[in-house]
Amino acid sequence: MAYEQEINRRRTFAIISHPDAGKTTLTEKLLLYGGAIHVAGAVKSNKIKKTATSDWMEIEKQRGISVATSVMGFEYRGYKINILDTPGHQDFAEDTFRTLTAVDSVIIVVDAAKGVEAQTRKLMQVCTMRKTPVMIFVNKMDREGKDPFDLLDELEAELGIGVRPLSWPINMGMKFKGVYNIYQEKLNLYTPDKQKVSETVAVDIDSAELDAMVGEDDAAKLRQDLELIDGVYDPFDVKDYLAADIAPVFFGSALNTFGVRELLDCFVEIAPAPLPVEAEERRVVPTEEAFTGFVFKIHANMDPNHRSCIAFVKVCSGRFERNVNYKHIRLGKMLKFSAPTAFMAQKKETVDEAYAGDIVGLPDTGNFKIGDTLTSGEELHFKGLPSFSPEMFKYIENADPMKTKQLNKGLEQLMGEGVAQLFTHANNNRKIVGTVGQLQFEVIEYRLLHEYGAQCRWEPISLYKACWIESDDAAEIENFKRRKFQYIATDKDGRDVFLAESGYLLQMAQADFPKIRFHFTSEF
Ligand code: G4P
């Protein structure tokens, strides 16, 4: 197959949702269609059950599962599909943010009864920021849920994106009869079944056939709804979807493998092939001959004795090959990889090559950090792996003075993996760890001990947010730092960070120093 064709048939995306909306179930059903698995229930849920939030061993177990399901590749109708899994637990939201930098589009799963939930809203902000094309799957139509029109309004208002239904449900819950596929103008009648794939029939919406299939009342309601949809929403234009202005919406029930095929068929047709990626120096186009890629995720130590990790590299352009030397830009040295892995369904296997759009896993013993660029030789630095303002903070102290070196080494590595963010207080030089969830503190403590033999102790610090500050007026920054010296820290790159103790104090600072810009992500 021609090289460009090979790249253009790739679809690399992530499924995001609030926990329990049905992400795992939908992923599994997509794999079922792709023939990557043969029975439902084969994909283990990698979500960390809410009840086990403080059970670190449980998380370890889950991590073991999730390395295999971090990326799931499969073939469908001539397309190569790569699904990037995102951790369900909200304490790992930062991981999810970064995974979103490696995808070309996103499918959002929403529970029909619950509508838009907190986690979805937050993740959508990242998609908006990056202008990632989004498709929405409204799940659990086999249960009573919100009125579909109300739900569409809610999606628009809460997610800040226009919507366009491309399928439409006929009733819901006990009376759910199926969906009309607006995109293909076909009817898909519902029979609950977790394993079997339902059949779709072409039907003229104005024909008596429709009445015979779903009953007169429901047929009339469907015609009325479709008319209303045409009246309210502009005709669907793929360009609007690709520009991230409009999100096509599908309805179904992942558990019953229903409405999933409509989603998948439309997805492969309209979702973007690998998109150009911005580097500091220039824009990199996927079909360029030379290989480039960046590390967006590091999966830590499956074996604590060896400190071995897997660095996940998104191939941005060209073809990655096994045993070929590539330049690790940050270290300025050439490296080659004898055992790169690709992820097909649930298997991790060594591969000889991978193309733009694919993800390769590189076994690593500490060479990689999140955001590192690899190229065939060109000096490039990929952008777009921002850190977000953490929301929880603790001072980290060394609890074993004999192991200072180990602690520092461990901390540096863990921060490089993106487990949390480290700030150094400008006033007293104490180290502050910032996270998005309580679990990260446990992760750090456990891993420092088990992988580096270092012991840490946490001390409380009451902070509301850390934000990066900058100004065109250097004197103003100096003035601010002087005035707020107890609240200034530096991040890992030595940049100034303001530690706000409360939302009120942050607002005050913003009002008092209008020439200073306060940023809530590290990339500005
Ligand atoms: P998540 O990855 O987004 O967290 O969600 P997951 O797929 O694990 O689904 C959460 C729960 O919702 C599961 O039930 C799952 O069976 C159920 N579910 C998913 N899709 C549908 C659907 O279309 N209809 C209905 N009625 N339920 C659905 P659970 O009881 O938490 O887990 P399990 O014991 O069934 O696995």
Q: Is 142 part of any known ligand binding site?
A: yes
Q: Is 274 part of any known ligand binding site?
A: no
pLDDT at residue 52, as a whole number: 38
Helix (H) or strand (E) holding 371: none
Rounded to the nearest 10 degrees, the angle between the axes of helix 404-416 and helix 438-452 is: 130
What are the tens digits of pLDDT across the range 255-286? 988 888 889 999 999 999 999 999 999 999 99
Nearest CA to ligand 1 atom 22: 140
Q: Once rounded to an integer, what is the mean pLDDT over residues 329-338? A: 93
Identify the CA nearest to 21 among candidates 150, 106, 117, 89. Answer: 117
Q: Once rounded to an integer, what is the mean pLDDT over residues 164-192? A: 87
Distance 443 CA to ligand 1 centre (A): 27
Q: Once rounded to an integer, what is the mean pLDDT over residues 87-110? A: 82
Q: Is 140 part of any known ligand binding site?
A: yes
* CA–CA dist 50, 18 (Å, integer): 12
Distance 19 CA to ligand 1 centre (A): 9
Q: Is 21 part of any known ligand binding site?
A: yes
Q: Once rounded to an integer, what is the mean pLDDT over residues 53-75? A: 60
Pairing verdict, β 347-350 and 341-344? antiparallel
Ligand 1 atom index nearest CA of 27: 7
* Helix residue spans in 69-215 (DSSP H): 93-99, 118-130, 148-159, 208-214
Whether this model's pTM surpasses 0.75: yes
Nearest CA to ligand 1 atom 26: 140
Place of tokens 């005035």: 483
Q: Is 18 part of any known ligand binding site?
A: yes
Q: Is 139 part of any known ligand binding site?
A: yes
* CA–CA dist 152, 112 (Å, integer): 10
SS3 79: strand
What are the tens digits of pLDDT across the range 275-328? 999 999 999 999 999 999 999 988 776 555 566 788 999 999 999 999 999 999
Distance 24 CA to ligand 1 centre (A): 8
Is the per-residue pLDDT at 1 higher than 60?
no
What are the tens digits of pLDDT across the range 112-168? 999 998 888 888 988 998 899 999 999 999 999 999 999 999 999 999 999 999 999
Ligand 1 atom index nearest CA of 143: 26
Nearest CA to ligand 1 atom 25: 140
Neighbours of 376 (CB within 10 A): 19
Distance 184 CA to ligand 1 centre (A): 28
pLDDT at residue 508, as a whole number: 92
Least confident of 50-59, 70-79, 153-162, 393-402: 50-59
What are the tens digits of pLDDT across the range 439-489? 788 888 988 898 889 999 999 999 999 999 999 999 999 999 999 999 999
Ligand 1 atom index nearest CA of 25: 7
DSSP 176-245: --EEEETTTTEEEE----SSSPPPEEE--TTSHHHHHHH-HHHHHHHHHHHHHHHHHSPPP-HHHHHTTS
Could you tell me the CA-to-CA distances from 446 to 56, 216, 219, 319 in Å, in that order?
8, 63, 59, 38
Confidence of residue 50 (pLDDT cuts 50, 70, 90): very low
Is the per-residue pLDDT at 232 higher than 70?
yes
Q: Once rounded to an integer, what is the mean pLDDT over residues 26-45? A: 70
pLDDT at residue 524, as a whole number: 60
> Which is higher by pLDDT, 15 or 36?
15
| Ligand 1 pocket, CB under 6 A | 17, 19-25, 45, 47, 88, 139-140, 142-143, 253-256
